[in-house]
Amino acid sequence: MNERTTLVTDLNVFANFRPTLPSTYTDSPFIFLGNIDPTLQRSVLTQVKAKPKAVGLDTMNYWIERTPAELKETLKHTQILMINDDETRQLTGEHNLTRAAKMIFKMGPKTLVIKRGEHGALMVHDRFLFSVPAFPLETVNDPTGAGDSFAGGFMGYLASQKNVTEQSLRRAMVYGSVLGSFCVEKFGVERLTRLTRSEISARARLFSRLTAFQL
Amino acid sequence: MNERTTLVTDLNVFANFRPTLPSTYTDSPFIFLGNIDPTLQRSVLTQVKAKPKAVGLDTMNYWIERTPAELKETLKHTQILMINDDETRQLTGEHNLTRAAKMIFKMGPKTLVIKRGEHGALMVHDRFLFSVPAFPLETVNDPTGAGDSFAGGFMGYLASQKNVTEQSLRRAMVYGSVLGSFCVEKFGVERLTRLTRSEISARARLFSRLTAFQL
């Protein structure tokens, strides 16, 4: 949790931070609310003019403990919640993740993405489950930013599609994992800044090979 | 490691244990050597008359530390090694699992199955990688025996096939996970003793749904 602790320290320094969307962003159909104060997350959302096709949200123990009412209000406007195992349990008070997911569905999101770092990610949707492994890498240099890279790949893929369907959500999980796997190969954003489309496609095909079987 | 600690205590009590194969077992083409003293594992293997199609082996920290030479001798006669992350690292002295796998391939096995409990299992073969998640269950009553159930499902599936191929190894991973998932639903072998073929097939199809995506 070191990275996240640092984040909160930064937020305290910037206590007067009031995010303002550039005007070209206010009609975005796909919104991802990064891990900040849920009141600020909602203030971003109110700046979006048209009803978004999908709103994703990341949060953490700090907000779950200190601003639970604000977080639950923001969750009402969220379709996709991306958190880890511990956060899922803390938010619901339920240890079992499939039961916890059902409680989260009542809070607003109908899609829960449980991020598990080196163990991949699990999507619990109210009509299906989907699991994707982490990509087995020879070298992991820096896990910082893997979760945000996952979210970026996930939301970016969804935004490239006309509609949010079961198939596009499954593929979004794969592209999220692809971006997360590139992120950790080098320090900071070093690997991501020189990443090409063809590298992304090639690794997505490797995920397919990694998980495919015929009964 | 509580279960495994208990096992070793039992083995010390039965220090004179000398496993003898019933005569009807000595022509088995598929052999699984459970987690016991590697010298005893090899003594089982020498009782098998024909050259087996595949030998699987489970081991643990106790044997890796105390009988490394004996273990390495037994590994020379093993095709499929089934251990966990820590055991893989301990056996090779290499933290990275894909690099560790390459070291294991030089010891004998050409297939490494890394068992990860609630995080599923990873197969590292010298020509491919295959990952299978654990089945997300509403209730886990007792994890005891999950690894052995996995091994049983895995080897049992292989034994049902004519040849060991990439596809049969992938499916063996799935059937191993299916059996492991049923094992943990109830205490001891309670669930396994009343398990039916159709329940096994149905859950294998659920694994397919859990992991399938189309790029």
pLDDT tens digits along B115-151: 999 999 999 998 999 999 999 988 888 999 999 999 9
pLDDT at site B3: 56
Q: Best of A154, A198, A211 to disrupt the B interface by mutation (most B CBs within 10 Å)?
A: A211
Q: What is the mean pLDDT of residues B171-197?
A: 95
8 Å CB contact of A131 and B128: no
What are the tens digits of pLDDT across the range A59-101? 999 999 999 999 999 999 999 999 999 999 999 999 999 899 9
Band of pLDDT at residue B11, cut at 50, 70 and 90: low
For residues A40-50, average pLDDT: 95
CA distances from A150 to A111, A130, A172, B40, B41 (A): 15, 15, 9, 47, 44
- Touching A: B residues 76-105, CB under 8 Å: 96-99
Flag if B171 and A131 touch (Cβ within 8 Å): no
B119 CB near a chain A CB, below 8 Å?
A: yes
Average pLDDT over residues B105-113: 98
Q: What is the pLDDT of residues B46-90, one digit of tens each?
A: 999 999 999 999 999 999 999 999 999 999 999 999 999 999 999
Judged by a CB distance cut-off of 8 A, whether residue A138 touches chain B is yes
Task: Return residues 169-188 of A near B (CB < 8 Å).
Answer: 170-171, 173-174
Burial class (CB in 10 A: 0-12, 13-18, 19+), B142: middle
**Within 13 Å of residue B8, how many CA atoms lie on the same side as its CB?**
11
Q: Please provide the average confidence, as pLDDT, over all residues in chain A.
A: 92
Q: Could you tell me the pTM of the whole model? A: 0.91
User: Which of A96, A120, A215 has the CB atom closest to B205's CB atom?
Assistant: A215
What pLDDT score was predicted for residue A4? 60
A214 neighbourhood in chain B, CB within 8 Å: 167, 170-171
State mean pLDDT over A131-145: 91
Task: Look at residue A7 in the predicted model and tell me its pLDDT.
Answer: 57
CB < 8 Å to B210, chain A: 129-131
- Residues A36-61: what's their mean pLDDT? 95
Q: What is the pLDDT of residue B9?
A: 55
pLDDT at B1 > cutoff 50:
no
Say which of B122, B128, B138 has its CB closest to residue A99: B138
Which of the two residues, B213 and B141, has the higher pLDDT score?
B213
As a whole number, mean pLDDT of residues A101-124 equals 96
pLDDT at B28 over 70: yes
Q: How far apart, in whole angstroms, are the C-alpha atoms of residue B206 and residue B204? A: 5
Task: State residue A18's pLDDT score.
Answer: 87
**Does B10 or A77 have the greater pLDDT score?**
A77
The pLDDT, as a whole number, for residue A162 is: 86
Whether B215 sits inside 8 A of A205 (CB atoms) is yes
Query: How far is Cα B210 from Cα B134, in angstroms, rounded to an integer?
Result: 10
pLDDT at position B172: 98
What mean pLDDT comes out for the span B177-191? 94
Instruction: Name the pLDDT band for A9 (thresholds 50, 70, 90).
Output: low
Decide if pLDDT at B16 tops 90.
no
Average pLDDT score over residue span A45-69: 96
Q: pLDDT > 90: what percent of chain A?
A: 84
Residue B138 and residue A96: Cβ atoms within 8 Å?
yes
Query: Closest to A213 (Cβ–Cβ): which among B98, B171, B209?
Result: B171
pLDDT at residue B165 tops 60: yes
Alpha carbons B32 and B156: distance in angstroms, whole number: 10
Contact B122 A133 (CB under 8 A): yes
Is A8 a residue whose pLDDT tops 90?
no
Task: Answer yes or no: do A96 and B139 touch at CB < 8 A.
Answer: yes
pLDDT digits (tens, 9 = 90+) for A147-200: 999 999 999 999 999 899 999 999 999 999 999 999 999 999 999 999 999 999
Predicted local distance difference test score (pLDDT) of residue A3: 56
Please give the share of chain B, as a percent, with pLDDT higher than 70.
93
- Cβ separation of B129 and A136 shorter than 8 Å? yes
Q: What is the band of A1 on the pLDDT scale with cuts at 50, 70, 90?
A: very low
Give the ipTM. Answer: 0.89
Residue A17: its pLDDT value, please? 83
